């Protein structure tokens, strides 16, 4: 399954769960950044290490005040589609 297919399934699942349209738009922006970085590759081609590097680079671009937000890849974490154990990729830096 390619990344763009994963988004459709994830979005449908979160709509059923009652996520707001604003939240889904924010997730979609992050999803597009992920696809722009990796390309529209198969989900099996993503590795834990490549996701860590991606999240590290994304964190470098944040303003210091924004680094307190928790970074997760909502597309992968909890979707049931990711073949990796992505739960520990949650990023919440400590001051």
Residue-level pLDDT, tens digit, the chain, 95 residues: 898 898 899 999 999 999 999 999 988 988 898 899 999 999 889 888 888 888 888 877 766 655 544 444 545 545 554 544 444 444 444 43
Reading phi first (left if > 0) and then psi (alpha if -120 to 50, else beta), residue 80 is in left
pTM: 0.64
Q: What is the pLDDT of residue 54?
A: 86
- Which pLDDT does position 88 carry in this prediction? 43
Q: What is the pLDDT of residue 83?
A: 47
Residue 8: how many CB atoms within 10 A of its CB? 9
């Amino acid at each position: 399954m390619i990344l763009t297919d994963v988004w459709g399934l994830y979005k449908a699942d979160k709509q059923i769960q009652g996520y707001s349209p604003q939240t889904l738009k924010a997730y979609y922006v992050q999803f597009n950044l992920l696809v722009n970085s990796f390309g529209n590759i198969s989900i099996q081609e993503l590795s834990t290490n490549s996701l860590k590097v991606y999240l590290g680079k994304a964190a470098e671009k944040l303003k210091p005040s924004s680094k307190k937000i928790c970074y997760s890849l909502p597309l992968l974490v909890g979707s049931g589609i990711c073949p990796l154990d992505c739960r520990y990729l949650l990023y919440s830096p400590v001051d």
